[in-house]
Amino acid sequence: MLNPTQILLIAVVSVLTVILAIIGIQIFYILREGRRSIEKVNKMLDDVGSITSSVAKPIINLSSSISSFSGITGLLSWIFKKKNKEGKEDE
């Protein structure tokens, strides 16, 4: 027959087994929710990357247009200065 110590020990082990099983299930749910959150953050970062690249392309084009325009204005100012110098030398 079982004495009271053995019965108490079996009860404690059974309760601890049930508690640890419940904790394990809860940890599984927490990790699954964390995985879903990380997937959502990853998707948001991918969207932000595509948005920034689509915004950067027009800015790069505008920058190259402005630098081309500044090059043309520099060339025109150089031509006009040269004409002014030639005009002053003729006088």
Report pLDDT digits (tens) over 33-60.
999 999 999 999 988 888 887 777 777 7
C-alpha span between 91 and 78 (Å, rounded): 20
Q: How many CA atoms lie within 13 A of 33 on its CB side?
A: 6
pTM as predicted: 0.51
More confident site: 87 or 77: 77
